[in-house]
Structure 1
Amino acid sequence: MTIWNSAPEKFDRPAYRSLADFMTAAIKREELATGDKLPPHRDLAHMLGLSVQTVSRAYDLLIQRGMASGHVGRGTYVSAKRLETQPPYIQAAQGDQLIDFSNLKPVGGQIHVDRMRATLSALSQDMTPSALFSFRPANALRPYLAPAISWLETCGLSCSQEQIVMTNGSSSAMTTALLTVAGGGLVVSDQTCHHPLLRQSQYLGFRLMGLNTDQEGITPDGLEAACRKTQVKALFVLPNGLNPMALTMGLERRSQLVEIARRYDIAIIENDAWGPVQEHRLPPIASLAPERTAYFTSFTKCLLPGLRHGYLVMPDTQAQAAANRHLATDWTATPLMADIAARWIEDGTAAELLSWQQKTLDRRNQLVREILSPIPFNSSSNGLHIWLPLPGEWTEDAFIETARQKGIVVAPGSAFALPEAQTKPGIRVCLGTADEDHLVFGLEQLALIWHSRPEPGFPVF
């Protein structure tokens, strides 16, 4: 294979990781194709002047990354799994010693358990019959539309009942919105973008391109240049700090992007999964351009992870198309979840839990500022995470492995970067998963690592 001719004469330490990185890049460039057989360990070691053990460890790491698969007696092959983007969060519990800063979710407490127990008890006495017996989404969900309107107004958006598609959370809403407006065309977003968008582009068959950003997110010049160069179908935005880099878009920037979208007739998809958890928030882009914006929000990130219910608001002209696509993919939002969400909106539980979340996140963000000062980082008001740029010699891999040795898990910036994106090293640190004592300890350890220097050839266990 000719790619070995371009291999470095001397790999950086640890050599096995450098070799694995070299092969990973070759796979992403399709210089190594799915099904290609990699050279035998001994042959490649001789070819590159490395030890057989180094090549074996590189192949093992490649398999762990899902880029290759090993078959006893047959060898190691490039795997089609390379098309699967790896989630930035930890996938399974690895013991009580880990402080998990990788998973983006709200803070939970006994108040949530108590309120849900009380609600489930009430549901056993007076659940709406249509929630149990109706197969038709319109019939089963109609009683919950008025509370939905009320909650969306809390988010800063006014709309009609006919514009709302109820979903099982933001992921379902996002799929429906993309199916409705992307149509196999080009979707543009931040270079460091919402992680599920990477997978959606693979599964739904639309093209995805990253745009340059500044401290407010996507720049008008970047969007304008993309629209002049090629036909853009949709702009995907997370304007309220939800994006991995915790960037908040100002009102003028929102208006500028809307003006460009109107001029080039492109749709806007607005992810507002945090909803009203951020106080004194700017109006949604959907309120500035209701005729072309698909807006979605849910209760999962701002109230309770287990309350998987949300709202997709479409322009009048696309509402029925979105409803049809939701029928084809999910059929209907779960009526039980819709009933709980509606009860909480109407009886004040949602407002109570929202206020609790806002105060808790406000305190946690204050702790972050105190512990990390004077380290520069990105954050948003009452945000569920921060973005920590890495200094000097630190790579994401080295920083993450060093943190893991201290029992701390964070998400690498590379997990959010679009292919060919030119991004600087950084990590996402989520604030909702640990109790406060662990939060403080974990942040203190991250600060110590940030101020230190990486050890040469840091081992991976």
Structure 2
Amino acid sequence: MTKWIPNIDAEGAPLYLALADAIERDVFSGTLAPATRLPTHRDLADELGVNVSTVTRGYAEAERRNLVASTVGRGTFVSVDAVTSTSMVSFEPHSPGLIEMGLATPMPHLDPDLNEALRTISRRKNPERFLRYSDPRGLAEHRDIGAELVRLYGMPATGDDLIVTAGSQHGLSTTLSAVFKPGDRIATDALTYPGFKALAASMGVRLCPVAMDENGMIPEALEMACRQREVKGLYLLPHMQNPTTICMPYDRKVALAAVAEKHHLTIIEDDAYAFLQDGELLPVSALLPEQSIFIAGISKMVGAGLRVGFLRVPEQHRTVFAQSILNSMWMVPALNVEIITKWIADGEVAAARKRKCTEARQRGELARSILDCGKLHLSGCGFFGWWELPESWSGVAFESAASKAGVNVFSAEKFVVGDADAPQALRVALSGAEHVEDLERGLKILRDLARNP
């Protein structure tokens, strides 16, 4: 534990906010490094001459800002990702020639023909119906076809079970606003999707990191988190975990479902990359359908720019979910959903999936042949790999060096939740570069960097 004593400027602000401001200032100045353990509430209160409750409130405010993470029995630590951007997209222009191997794009050049879909819709008798206000849940015929897609993910569903959303990210925000409130805690993998981290932080929902092994989240660790904290939800990506590529085996799903049932956790299952897996799938949500929100995203498969997704929602939550959609955007544009559901019904989605899986496998084999140092994890025909770096590199240092060398990649720190440890690893996107030649050049740059620290 460090002997850190903050310099508090409380003029015009409550003491607890001044303490949180001091933590924020020292974190971003580098005075407090990631994973630094802060003084106990009692010790800091004694040093500052304030009430313990003031320190408790200050630490809580710092945790709300994602600056620190507290664990019962361990203490309060500076979050590993406190100074790491969780954004998957930079709003600054890339340097000319930068090879994109951070963002896992869905290879849009292999999508179905949009011109043909628009021509077909325009020839209908009443295409203007898609310009009107409609049911916030989505049109009934669209939900019926969407249920076909959800069932392909292994989740039983009918049209009545579904809510149409503007993509998976909107599905996540709708779920958080409909089911959770600020201050609630959701258990996640210790490494998880940064978009969910950012969304939870923006809505005041706290994430509890749960330890993982080669099969995904450890049920005993989830049980411990539920005993130590008042956990309300469980966020899972079981079929191609982002970023580690782990595909959770059946017995692990059953064990996690048992813990979720015991502690009445609402499961949020985000199966964005499940379609890349071969064979039949069994979502954790299928084991506890009345406790689960199942997100069947389609943007990673086709039509990312159309922003369409489907939520399978238990009956008791459907009204509040519909109200949340209404409050946020009234309804997802019906024309966009019409295009997507037409492609599902016509078999275009299945054909696009086949094309993308074929190319993804080829790109994966290329990555295996080039990244011959460290340890590369790939799953099925995945759009990204998880690369454990040689010991001489940290993820952050490698990401910076790769950027200077002309390649954009994402370090493990971007995916870390709270005070969980950041492994020496990178997520390497294989689908970000449109041309295989660019991907090959980027992989060779990464390999050469890893060999020569």
User: TM-score scaled to structure 1, two decimals?
Assistant: 0.78
1:158 matched to which residue of 2?
Answer: 156
2:226 matched to which residue of 1?
Answer: 227
**Cα distance in 2, alignment partners of residues 231 and 180 from structure 1:** 19
Larger CA deviation: 379-388 vs 20-29: 20-29
Change (3 A) 1:282 1:115: same
1:372 matched to which residue of 2?
Answer: 371
Deviations 1:203-223 (A, max 9, x none): 222221111111122101110
Contact 1:250 1:282 in 2 (8 A): no
Match of 1:181 among 179, 182, 186: 179
Give runs of aligned pairs for residues 187-202 of structure 1, distance below 5 A: 187-202=186-201
Deviations 1:115-140 (A, max 9, x none): 111112222222644311234435x6
1:252 matched to which residue of 2?
Answer: 251
Larger CA deviation: 321-330 vs 211-220: 321-330
Contact 1:275 1:298 in 2 (8 A): no
Deviations 1:166-209 (A, max 9, x none): 00100110111122333332101011111022222222222211
1:277 is matched by which residue type in structure 2?
A: L
2:79 matched to which residue of 1?
Answer: none
- Listed as ranges, the gaps of 5+ residues in structure 1 are 5-17, 32-66, 68-81, 454-461
2:436 matched to which residue of 1?
Answer: 436
1:123 is matched by which residue type in structure 2?
A: I
2:21 matched to which residue of 1?
Answer: none
Aligned residues: 388
Percent of aligned pairs sharing the same letter:
24
Contact 2:374 2:390 in 1 (8 A): no
Please report how far the alpha carbon of residue 350 of structure 1 lies from its aligned counterpart in structure 2 after TM superposition: 1.2
Give runs of aligned pairs for residues 303-382 of structure 1, distance below 5 A: 303-373=302-372, 375-382=374-381
SS in 2 for 1:291: helix
Considering only aligned residues, what root-mean-square deviation do their CA atoms show, in Å?
2.7
SS in 1 for 2:33: helix
Give runs of aligned pairs for residues 94-113 of structure 1, distance below 5 A: 94-109=94-109, 111-112=110-111
Please tell me whether residue 169 in structure 1 is matched to residue 167 in structure 2.
yes
Please report how far the alpha carbon of residue 24 of structure 1 lies from its aligned counterpart in structure 2 after TM superposition: 6.0
SS in 2 for 1:393: coil
Change (3 A) 1:301 1:242: farther
2:54 matched to which residue of 1?
Answer: none
Please report how far the alpha carbon of residue 441 of structure 1 lies from its aligned counterpart in structure 2 after TM superposition: 1.4
User: TM-score scaled to structure 2, two decimals?
Assistant: 0.79
2:450 matched to which residue of 1?
Answer: 450
Please tell me whether residue 25 in structure 1 is matched to residue 24 in structure 2.
no
2:33 is matched by which residue type in structure 1?
A: A
1:147 matched to which residue of 2?
Answer: 145
Please report how far the alpha carbon of residue 108 of structure 1 lies from its aligned counterpart in structure 2 after TM superposition: 2.9
2:285 matched to which residue of 1?
Answer: 286
Please report how far the alpha carbon of residue 401 of structure 1 lies from its aligned counterpart in structure 2 after TM superposition: 2.4
**Cα distance in 2, alignment partners of residues 348 and 299 from structure 1:** 14
Change (3 A) 1:372 1:102: same
**Cα distance in 1, alignment partners of residues 356 and 412 from structure 2:** 26
1:439 is matched by which residue type in structure 2?
A: L
Change (3 A) 1:216 1:159: same
Give runs of aligned pairs for residues 69-84 of structure 1, distance below 5 A: none
1:125 matched to which residue of 2?
Answer: 123
**Cα distance in 2, alignment partners of residues 222 and 19 from structure 1:** 28
2:397 matched to which residue of 1?
Answer: 398
Change (3 A) 1:235 1:19: closer
Larger CA deviation: 234-243 vs 317-326: 317-326
2:113 matched to which residue of 1?
Answer: 115
1:41 matched to which residue of 2?
Answer: none
- Listed as ranges, the gaps of 5+ residues in structure 2 are 8-25, 40-66, 68-81
**Cα distance in 1, alignment partners of residues 84 and 390 from structure 2:** 29
Deviations 1:70-99 (A, max 9, x none): xxxxxxxxxxxx899441444443244110
2:209 matched to which residue of 1?
Answer: 210
Change (3 A) 1:91 1:248: farther
Contact 1:267 1:293 in 2 (8 A): yes
**Cα distance in 2, alignment partners of residues 414 and 291 from structure 1:** 34
Contact 1:274 1:297 in 2 (8 A): no
Contact 1:278 1:358 in 2 (8 A): no
Please report how far the alpha carbon of residue 268 of structure 1 lies from its aligned counterpart in structure 2 after TM superposition: 0.6
**Cα distance in 1, alignment partners of residues 31 and 316 from structure 2:** 48
**Cα distance in 1, alignment partners of residues 297 and 343 from structure 2:** 13
1:388 matched to which residue of 2?
Answer: 387
Please report how far the alpha carbon of residue 384 of structure 1 lies from its aligned counterpart in structure 2 after TM superposition: 1.2
**Cα distance in 2, alignment partners of residues 26 and 229 from structure 1:** 23
Change (3 A) 1:151 1:365: same
Deviations 1:260-292 (A, max 9, x none): 111111111000112423221531112222111
Contact 1:241 1:379 in 2 (8 A): no
